[in-house]
Amino acid sequence: MSLSLNQWTTRQWSLPEAVDGCVRHGLEAIGLWREKVAETGLARSVRLVRDAGLRVSSLCRGGFLTAGGLPGEEGRTAFAQALEENRRAIDEAAELSADCLVLVVGGLPGVRPGEALPAAGFTRDLAGARERVAEALAELAPYAGERGVKLALEPLHPIYCPDRAVISTLGQALDLSLPFPEEQVGVVVDTFHVWWDPRLFEDVARAGLRIASYQVCDYLHPLPEDVLLGRGMMGDGVIDFRPITAAVRAAGYTGDVEVEIFNADVWAADPDEVVATMKARYEQVVLA
Amino acid sequence: MSLSLNQWTTRQWSLPEAVDGCVRHGLEAIGLWREKVAETGLARSVRLVRDAGLRVSSLCRGGFLTAGGLPGEEGRTAFAQALEENRRAIDEAAELSADCLVLVVGGLPGVRPGEALPAAGFTRDLAGARERVAEALAELAPYAGERGVKLALEPLHPIYCPDRAVISTLGQALDLSLPFPEEQVGVVVDTFHVWWDPRLFEDVARAGLRIASYQVCDYLHPLPEDVLLGRGMMGDGVIDFRPITAAVRAAGYTGDVEVEIFNADVWAADPDEVVATMKARYEQVVLA
């Protein structure tokens, strides 16, 4: 397993700066974000990572597929738009030769991240939202397959179930992936999201080669006010990484290990120091 | 199923006031907290609920059984103290003829609720902490059984895994209960904690008569800064109660439905209005 920098960890850096940073620190892979790719331009981004000899361990992110659960025309339009947007993300992942396109599947239809519940225009139908994800996958998986892109379903910590992901466990992501060929749909194991799951080790083993991405960062305690930023540098929180890494390896995963940290202090720090710390902590607390 | 007021929902009220409130609003049951019972005195509390003709649907709470996972003497002392404290809670539940004693099992050994991680004196050994819970149950279940008390294991939302409960799913609580007779160890289904679980309906059915308590309150969005207070009046959040209530009923549960809300606004409101709202919402959004 080789260390990869998810570029959101050094958010200050543009894509060219992040590519340079990876090379300077001897990393072989980078995880890209669509926003950053758009800023630099797709063609130039492709050239930069290729010229630097970097693997693209993932492209973040597609998803937000559940709005189709809204009633009537609104739902139909939202579903069509989500599919269209995801096809664009798949095309970009293909251009970048990304190992996978990460999908954050979306929350309850009509519930917006971080915003108060609307008086109308949202639904509490959790089971229905999960069915919308399965439907969207059936549309997108063949499209991805034709372009050599693997979709990677990311279960998010249950705290994000209302607004970001109705897929909350690795087992659930895995079950949703099984109807599709392994090279079309896989799952993400992100320690922050799944460390608490009593079925984690069983489901990592069951996932086997469906594991499309292994991402690490720590779970801080207590969480900050904005729970989206509760991700910490490995060793700064409560997660015991070694047994999880060992299980992912035993399942057959040989890909890159991406470090993706959303944290106000990490974002404010000097990116070169962040990468240096990340490398040291990876050796000290993540490797099994 | 009959509605019960968990007295923490009307936290301003003393135990005598809460008992009066239940009678005034025509409720047949009340969920008590040990702190409030201690304030009023155990004998007087027993007399008050008996004279009012109320059932005690639960006593909150025992638990915090994981500190025994600390190394050496510190762990042994912490484990012995936790068992002693839980035996006292069982004795109180017996005196009050409570339907069950709710157990919040505790988080990672040495991690304190709401406090920064200590530099030393805590462990990330989640699997070990879960084993401590099983060990403690083996000590406590027979003691409870002799006194006619049922221990009710409460899975808490995974957000509380570091500091309050290493039991995060109903399935996990259920598995921990199975080695013991049904009348000694059961589980709590609390909508706030389990609504997101993709295996919820399967595990409610599997729990059957192990369900010792059904508690309802809503999951607010977005959560407030102090996530402990993210519980809302039914109808104010994202939970679809009816299918969960129907599943609990289909599993064979015929007990009381307790409303337990931790919420700064609810606590600041007039308790009589809170109980009136609770009754109305129970009819409107909870009953299947």
Q: Tell me which residue has tokens 């009136």.
A: B276
Helix, strand, coil percentages (3-state) for chain B, rounded to 5, are: 45, 15, 35
Distance from the Cα of A237 to chain B's closest Cα (Å) equals: 8
Q: A198, B124: Cβ pair inside 8 Å?
A: no
Cβ separation of A195 and B126 shorter than 8 Å?
yes
Computed over its alpha carbons, how large is the radius of gyration of chain B?
A: 18
Give the gap in angstroms from C-alpha A261 to the nearest C-alpha of chain B.
18
CA distance A124 to chain B (A): 6
Q: Do A126 and B240 touch (CB under 8 A)?
A: yes
Q: Do B195 and A238 touch (CB under 8 A)?
A: no
Looking at residue A128, what is its pLDDT? 97
Contact B94, B56 (CB under 8 A): no
Q: What value does the mean pLDDT take over residues A126-143? A: 98
CB contact under 8 Å between A227 and B225, yes or no, is no
Nearest to B124 among A111, A227, A239 (CB): A239
User: Closest approach of chain B CAs to the CA of A106, in angstroms?
Assistant: 13
Mean model confidence pLDDT for chain A? 97
pLDDT at B122: 95
Which run of H or of E encompasses B186?
Answer: strand B185-190
Residue A1: predicted pLDDT: 87
Mean pLDDT of the A247-271 span: 97
Exposed/middle/buried for residue B93 (C-beta within 10 Å: 0-12, 13-18, 19+) = buried
Q: What is the pLDDT of residue B204?
A: 98
CB contact under 8 A, B219 and A124: no
CA–CA separation, B218 vs B213, rounded Å?
16
CB A205 within 8 A of CB A250: yes
Q: Is residue A188's pLDDT more than 90?
A: yes
Q: Which residue in chain A has the smallest CA separation from B110?
A: A238
Q: How far separated are the first and last CA of chain B, in Å rounded?
A: 10
Nearest by Cα to A109 from A120, A97, A122: A122
Q: Which residues of A241-271 are buried (b: 16+ CB within 10 A; e: fewer)?
A: bebbbebbbebebebbbbbbbbbeebbeeeb
Answer yes or no: do B163 and A115 touch at CB < 8 A. no
Q: What is the mean pLDDT of residues A140-166?
A: 98
**Domains of chain B (ranges plus CATH)?**
2-114+128-286 (3.20.20.150)
Tell whether the model's pLDDT for residue A5 goes beyond 90. yes
Q: What is the DSSP letter of B227?
A: G
The phi-psi region of residue B185 (left if phi > 0; otherwise alpha if psi is between -120 and 50; otherwise beta) is: beta
Q: Contacts of residue A227 in chain B, CB cutoff 8 Å? A: 159, 223, 227
Cβ atoms of residues B58 and B66 within 8 Å: no
The SS3 call for residue B282 is helix
Q: Distance, in angstroms, between A204 CA and closest chain B CA?
A: 16
DSSP sequence for B96-128: TT-S-EEEE-B-STTPPTTSPPPSSS----HHH
Q: Which residues pair with A211 in a beta bridge?
A: A187
pLDDT in tens, B152-174: 999 999 999 999 999 999 999 99
Distance from CA of A267 to the nearest CA of B (A): 21
For A57-77, b/e burial (b = at least 16 CB within 10 A) is bbbbbbbbbbbbbbeeeebee
Q: Does residue A199 register a pLDDT over 90?
A: yes
Asked if A171 lies within 8 A of B117 by C-beta distance, the reply is no
Joined together, the tokens standing for residue A213 give 């991405």
Do the Cβ atoms of B221 and A169 come within 8 Å? no
Q: How far apart are CA A82 and CA A212, in angstroms?
A: 22
Among residues A81, A143, A108, the alpha carbon closest in space to that of B219 is found at: A108
Answer whether B126 sits within 8 Å of A240, measured CB to CB: yes
Quick one: pLDDT at residue A288? 79
pLDDT one-digit tens code per residue, B36-95: 999 999 999 999 999 999 999 999 999 999 999 999 999 999 999 999 999 999 999 999
Q: Which residue of A has its CA nearest to B222?
A: A114
Average pLDDT on A114-121 reads 92
Q: Which of B196, B203, B236, B240 to mutate to test the interface with A (most CBs of A within 10 A)?
A: B196
Encode pLDDT of A26-42 as tens digits: 999 999 999 999 999 99
Nearest to A137 by CA among A198, A185, A199, A79: A185
Which of B117, B225, B238 has its CB closest to that of A221?
B117
| Average pLDDT per consecutive 10 residues, chain B (288 residues; last block may be shorter) | 97 98 98 98 98 98 96 96 98 98 98 93 96 98 98 98 98 98 98 98 98 98 92 98 98 98 97 98 95
